[in-house]
Structure 1
Amino acid sequence: MDIRPGSVLDPAVDALLGAHRRRMQAYSPPESIHALMPEQLADPSVSLWCAWQKDELLGCGALKALDAAHGEIKSMRTADAYLRRGVAAALLTRLIEEAQARGYARLSLETGSDPAFEPARRLYTRFGFSLCGPFAPYVEDPYSLFMTRAL
């Protein structure tokens, strides 16, 4: 598995992230979906990382700068054919390493509260994230759970 910077201009990446956004619609109303749109992922405050096996996209994840000491995990998605094969763990490891290299003191994320998000929550817990309250720009939402960890 090769993890490297990605681009929303890559058709495979765009397709995977489109599937990610559509999946969110199955579990949350539109106002509770916080997945980034392609133009938001292209913002300089966001760095996208993709896992590849030769020419096949396995998954992606992004790191968004909230401020000089706080980053946010965004757009974590594994291609269906590679679920439960360590792709998300490898991507999360890379994002944590990048956050540490940037000197962040904290890394946070928003995920769904539906049981369908339980595997993701278990992954984040395994990596030291714990439940917290909403952080900027979020507010309390019954469809969201917030997690954070110190770096």
Structure 2
Amino acid sequence: MDRHGITALRFVEDTLSGEEVQALVAYHLADMQRHSPACKVHALPVAALRQPDVTFWSAWIGEAIAGICALRHLSDDHGELKSMRAAPEWRGHGVGEAMLAHLLSEARRRGYARVSLETGRTEPFHPAVALYRKHGFVPCPAFADYVIDDFSQCLTLDLSGPA
């Protein structure tokens, strides 16, 4: 497992019916519950990821699931990044960055002017926040039903500039 394998990363718009996909969603939810106050777990379960306003992808390297990610349609010009998670064995190998690139490409294809996300402020969330900031995400006011507080923060990326 090295960064060179990431070039073979294959994204599949997914129905969430496969066992590997459901297991990674369950792992993601359990990890969010472990690191977040109960009222601050905004990760989506399988049923919510199947809603019409959410497009969900699984990411694969060969026959191995490497990650999951989703994009929620908020309005004609605004999307939300959801459920980005690299499989534990693929963390640190560029899967998160590849998934972010995939989601941003899809957001631009849809014509969104911006994409936003909510995430935690505590140490377990620092690697994800660093990834988002590396790609130009900046703090923003709360959106959708989120509340910014000592635990939660919202970030956004303006997509109206060059890719």
Give the TM-score taking structure 2 as reference length.
0.89
- In structure 1, the gaps of 5 or more residues are none
Q: CA deviation digits over 1:10-32, x for unaligned, max 9?
A: 11111001000100111112110
State the identity %.
Answer: 41
C-alpha distance in structure 2 between counterparts of 1:126 and 1:50, whole Å: 23
The aligned residue for residue 125 of structure 2 is 117
C-alpha distance in 2 between matches for 1:26 and 1:142: 17
- Tell me if structure 2 keeps the 8 A contact 1:69–1:103: yes
**1:10-49 paired onto structure 2 within 5 Å:** 10-49=18-57
Please tell me whether the aligned partners of residues 56 and 71 of structure 2 are also in contact (alpha carbons under 8 angstroms). Answer: yes
Amino acid at match of 2:120: G
Provide the alpha-carbon RMSD of the alignment: 0.9
The aligned counterpart of 2:14 is 6
Q: Which amino acid aligns with 1:148?
A: T
Take 2:76 and 2:18, find their aligned partners in 1: how far apart are those partners?
29
Distance 1:4 1:142 in 2: 36
SS of alignment partner, residue 21 of structure 1 = helix
- 1:142 equivalenced with 2:150 (yes/no): yes
For 1:16-95, list aligned pairs within 5 A: 16-95=24-103
Contact 2:86 2:96 in 1 (8 A): yes
Partner of 1:129: 137
Gaps of 5+ in 2: 1-8
Contact between 2:72 and 2:82, CA under 8 Å: does it hold in 1? yes
Tell me the distance in 2 between the aligned counterparts of 1:47 and 1:79: 19
Mapped to 2, the partners of 1:123 and 1:139 lie a distance apart of 22
How many residue pairs are counted as aligned between the two chains? 151
Q: Compare CA radii of gyration and give the structure with the larger one.
A: 2
